[in-house]
Every structure is written in C-alpha cells, then in structure tokens.
Amino acid sequence: MKVGDLVKLSMHKTRKGMPYDNTIGVVTEVKPTDEQGWTFVTAVFDSTPYTFPLTDLEVVSESR
C-alpha cells in the first residue's frame, strides 16, 4: 500500500454507522512499522483523515 492508493474498509472489520463505512478513501500517509510490528495508514474519507492499522484497509485501485 502506498500514498495515492484508493482504499476501503476491510470486510473483516465492521464498524457500522461510521462516516467512512462503505466509502472509498485515498491514502495520504503510510507510517513506518512501530516497535510492536504495526504499520499505520492515514486515509482521507469524505475530506476527513482517519488512521487505521494496515490490515484494516483493502486496496481498491493502486496509484501509478
């Protein structure tokens, strides 16, 4: 996953009623893996940035 990719919330993560549920977002930042082995991704959904663990998002379309 890299900056510019279009993403959606992973199907195995359900957060019904959240403003980004069933919405496509754009990756704006991929943070390096931390001490616990987590990689966090910031994506903008409807002009609001949200930060998720990498495993919570699925790539819909990759940037070139």
DSSP state of 15: -
Domain spans, the chain: 6-61
pLDDT of 18 over the 70 cut: no
Give the pLDDT confidence of 25-56 residue by residue, as tens digits: 999 999 988 888 899 999 998 888 999 999 89
Q: Identify the bridge partners of residue 49 per DSSP, sorted by sequence position.
A: 44
Q: E strands within the chain?
A: 6-9, 25-30, 40-45, 48-53, 57-61
pLDDT of 19 over the 70 cut: no
